[in-house]
Amino acid sequence: MVDVVSFLSSWLTLFGIYAILALCLDMEVGYTGMANTGLVSFFGIGSFVAGYISLTVFLSFFGYSYPIYSLDAVIAIGKISGSNPFLSIGVFLMSLVVAFVVSGTVGYLVSYPTLRVGPAFLGITILSFGEMLRIFMKHFTPTGGSYGLLGIPGPFGWVSEPSVKAVLFLALTLAILATVYLYFQTLSNSPYGRMLRSIREDEVASLCMGKPVPRIKAQLLFVGSGISGIAGSLLAFYQGSVSPDMFTTAVTFEVWSMVILGGRGNNRGALVGAAIISLLGWSSSALNFYLPGLVVDPNYIRWMLMGAVIVIILLYQPKGLVPEKPVQTKAWSLFETKEEKGILRKAETAVKRAFSWLAGRSYK
Amino acid sequence: MEIPVELLNTIWYICVYSLMAIPLTLSYRISKVLNFAHGVYVTLGAYTAILMSAAFGVKLSPFLAVPAAFLVGASISVLTDMMVFSPLIRRESNPVTLMIASMGAWIFIKNAFYALVDILQKRWMTSLFYTSPNIDLPAQVAIAGVELNTRLLFVVSLSAISLFLLGYFLTKTRLGMALRAIADNLDLAQISGISRERVMLITWLVSGGLAALGGFALSLFTYVSPELGDQMILQVFACSVIGGLTSIPLTFVGAVIISSSENILIVFLYRYLGIELSFRPFLSFFALLSVILIRPPAGAGGGLPYRFHLRGLSIQKKSDS
Amino acid sequence: MGAILEVKGVKKSFGGVEAIKDISLEVQKGSVTGLIGPNGSGKTTLFNVIAGFYKPDAGQVVFDGQRIDGLNPNEIYNLGLARTFQNPRLFPSMTTLENLMLSPKGQKGESLLKAPLKRLWVDEELKHASEVQELMSKIEIGDLYKTTVADLSGGDTKMVETSKGILGGAKLILLDEPTAGVQYVSGRSVFEHVNMLRKEYNLTFLVIEHRIDLLFDFTDYVYVLDMGEVLSKGKPQEVSKNPEVIKAYMGGA
């Protein structure tokens, strides 16, 4: 059933991309208390960087000199994007790295004026920055103005079967997601994560305990924005096109609702929130596709639900669905007694047993 | 004498921005909530007249449209407070939570309204997504022998009267002075027997109502869409930030500055530097950024007690000896 | 011995209000020095100046031979001067253990690059953890390591607030009204703990305190502030007999 595969892979790929964004936002807001209302800017920058680089490299490699946004370029790309697997993958990796650096740097620069004023001003300024960037990009001809860039050659352009291509890309996205998740997990369960939490709780008190708060915030925003840029690149390669109107503040809100729903300050919660909200988005698109002409456009319902979710969660379950756990570093080992470890050990054993049963082996 | 159109536009926008930004300053100052849903009140105000005239198919008298718009804006604002802000404030939520909650309310109300307009549009078979209200006002009126644009006159009078009434309310009435007292010192105000709930209610009522009037004024000279309030949100924020998010007179100054930059400055920039007119929002953004960098407002809702812009207010959470 | 902290001719005003007109004082190393005065005399402002929240309009603050006026609060902490707050500012949603584990400075695990590589900081972490364990048993809250700070009793919260700077290598701790909000009879035990910590960890304390009886028994030297100036100084017994001091307290407080 090709239909199911393509629908499933499209949902899961978008889930993967948005989950990366949710993880970044969670580290910024949930862990450190920085209200990043301009997430979409770094996401968008990453997308455009990826599009720009891959198109430019491909065209120049094959000796074309069309501007990347022109129709000739699109036609040319159509011919060459499948021809050199190494180039495709190489360009892909390079775009990811450059997107990380560019988005990260912009994030770092933006943090400078905004992180020393209160959250209200931070919120307004970053939000406005995002909008300004979008309007600017609409007039910026080297990247295609309001039409953006088309025909971006993906890393698997050389694969002939579209469904295989989709699955490969999905696997790649999920692999990147897993890496980001692991990275953030190790970061959180370390003195660094502890320090971030202290900044969220009371930045003045944290400052008084010797933590260089503005520097840490700027650093984290660099990393968070950079990784958001990577997510943006993935989107560009997945959709094959980017345009400024894809990056409105609505995207930021969607990711915010994921983080709020799933729970602040824990990475698993971000994944849960991303799964639920992206499912919501996907189902409203599906409804639109299969049942057009309903009384109310499902899209509106979807956004209403998101707004309601944000408010309801903040009112009744402000910590989100998945509760936050204390920072798990080795320090606990000094204090933990054997009994407490017992429960965890039993759970661990049960899970190991289940897995080995599935694998057809007996557990020793 | 031909009045340049840029000047006329500037005047329009000063009035409209004042009506939109001053209530934002007011609501932030008193409730400490940066209300992202503010733009929606503007949109709803603009659409009140449109929907009323479309529903009854008549030319609407402006003297009916104005109170109606005020009422709608005020009610939605109060409702939002009762359902979202007050419960959160009672739980002593931090400003970021309140801000995010206001965003949630914004998305919800905006999309609910979109859905409503969509449904109505299909039922009434008229275009509601890019339209104007049907208001009973002659195009021009002659005063002292000079031909004036009636709508401009109406908007200017509306703004002047509303702001005058607001000023009177805040400075001369007991309730108004209580509002200001609460903003400055919550504990003291509570001790002197002023009910906090009542003050908040009035604040949101006034703030939502005025914003709605701003929306109505806007609808008199430009086509409206459900995005209306949000299109202007940056400019409105900029006006309020120039007013330090606390001072109403300065917010008015902000309105003058932003409006002039959008209607006069941009024309110069276009003629001499070739900058396109659609780059208007950038001017407001730069104004916003400059204020934040050069003169960050005192007690800017948090922030660090850093050497180079220290204000005694933000350091200790409770008053100290 | 010698002075570990010297405040020389400090002035501080806020938009026309002179919070500190002219204050000079010295805190001897190893002492418990008291800072008293009626409300509004400038005590907390002085603390804020010393801790780096404000830059004095004039004058100097010298800590351990180094000028610290104009430095940021985090830099001052790292030099060994810890500031506590009258209303304890701990990190509510974190456990006691985590709160105290934040004190040590220069933790390798706190760097963005080193944190993911556990091997680089695990030993240091364990060492800090055992220090924390030792401290907690000294202030008798050993079994509260897992409790979220928000759930701690008032007295325990105060103890954590008081001692949170110690593991960061603090040499001088500014205590802001340690017995505020504590029941009268427990006041003594607060100061007994302070004394114990002073001996165990070789500390100096500068304390804002209102209770004269505790000042008598536990402080070595006292500065009396009034209206932003030093009104009187000396051993608590001498100072309390000073008629001007009595007048200031009766009239102002």
- Residue B145's pLDDT is 57
Contact A209 C85 (CB under 8 A): no
**Best CA proximity match to C139, nearest among C80, C179, C194:** C194
Distance between CA A28 and CA A22 in Å, rounded? 10
> Domain check: are A272 and A358 in the same one?
no
* Domain containing residue A229: CATH number: 1.10.3470
> Domain check: are A354 and A248 in the same one?
no
Contact (Cβ atoms closer than 8 angstroms) between residue A240 and residue A77: no
Contact (Cβ atoms closer than 8 angstroms) between residue B222 and residue B9: no
A270-300 pLDDT per residue, tens: 999 999 999 888 888 888 777 777 777 888 8
Residue with tokens 């939605």: B76
User: Percentage of chain A surpassing pLDDT 90?
Assistant: 30
Task: Note whether C131 contacts A: Cβ–Cβ < 8 A.
Answer: no
Question: Which chains have 3+ CB pairs within 8 A of A?
Answer: B, C
pLDDT, average across residues C145-158: 82
Enumerate the β-bridge partners of residue C172.
Answer: C81, C204
Q: Which of residues 260-319 of B touch C (CB under 8 A)?
A: 305-307, 310, 312, 315-318
> Domain check: are A112 and A129 in the same one?
yes
- Residue A359's pLDDT is 54
**Highest-pLDDT range among A33-37, C28-32, C107-111, C235-239:** C28-32
**In sequence order, what E strands does chain B have?**
140-143, 146-149
When comparing pLDDT for B138 and B119, which is higher? Answer: B119
Task: Note whether C133 contacts B: Cβ–Cβ < 8 A.
Answer: no
Q: What structural domains and CATH numbers belong to chain C?
A: 1-84+168-253 (3.40.50.300), 90-164 (no CATH)
What is the phi/psi pair of residue C83, to 5°? Answer: -115, 130
> Is a pLDDT exceeding 60 seen at residue A360?
no
Q: Which residues of C touch B307 (CB under 8 A)?
A: 52, 55, 70, 72
> Domain check: are A24 and A158 in the same one?
yes
Of A24-28, A228-232, B253-257, C116-120, the poorest mean pLDDT is in C116-120
B209-230 pLDDT per residue, tens: 999 999 999 888 888 888 888 8
Closest alpha carbon within chain A to C120: A190
Residue A96 lies in domain: 2-328
Confidence class for position C253, pLDDT limits 50, 70, 90: very low
> Domain check: are A321 and A342 in the same one?
no
> Domain check: are A141 and A271 in the same one?
yes
Q: Which residues of A touch C121 (CB under 8 A)?
A: 190-191
pLDDT, average across residues A54-72: 81
B264-303 pLDDT per residue, tens: 888 888 888 877 777 888 888 888 888 877 776 654 444 4
> Domain check: are A364 and A291 in the same one?
no
> Domain check: are A234 and A357 in the same one?
no
Find which of C53, C55, C57, C225 to mutate to test the B interface (most B CBs within 10 Å of its CB).
C53
**In sequence order, what E strands does chain C have?**
3-14, 17-28, 32-36, 58-63, 66-67, 81-83, 172-176, 204-208, 221-226, 229-234
Contact (Cβ atoms closer than 8 angstroms) between residue A248 and residue A133: no
> Domain check: are A203 and A272 in the same one?
yes
> Domain check: are A250 and A361 in the same one?
no
The total number of structural domains in chain A stands at 2
* Average pLDDT in chain B: 81
* Average pLDDT in chain A: 83
Confidence class for position B320, pLDDT limits 50, 70, 90: very low
> Is a pLDDT exceeding 60 seen at residue A27?
yes
Contact (Cβ atoms closer than 8 angstroms) between residue B102 and residue B84: yes
> Domain check: are A84 and A191 in the same one?
yes
Angle CA B90–B91–B95, to nearest 5: 95
> Domain check: are A201 and A237 in the same one?
yes
CB pairs under 8 A between B and C: 28
Residue with tokens 């007048």: C247
Tokens of C199: 């001996």
Q: Which residues of C touch B316 (CB under 8 A)?
A: 44, 85, 87
Of A109-118, B290-299, C106-115, the poorest mean pLDDT is in B290-299
- Residue B137's pLDDT is 67
C36-48 pLDDT per residue, tens: 888 878 888 899 9
When comparing pLDDT for A101 and C39, which is higher? Answer: A101
- A176 CA to chain C: closest CA distance, Å? 17
Q: Which of residues 119-158 of B touch A (CB under 8 A)?
A: 119
**Highest-pLDDT range among A52-66, A248-262, B2-16:** A248-262
* Cross-sheet strand order for the sheet of C229-234: C66-67, C58-63, C3-14, C17-28, C229-234, C221-226, C32-36, C204-208, C172-176, C81-83
Distance between CA C215 and CA C36 in Å, rounded? 9
Tokens of C161: 């607030």
When comparing pLDDT for A325 and C84, which is higher? Answer: C84
Of A222-231, B30-39, B130-139, C200-209, the poorest mean pLDDT is in B130-139
Confidence class for position A341, pLDDT limits 50, 70, 90: very low
User: Percentage of chain C surpassing pLDDT 90?
Assistant: 18
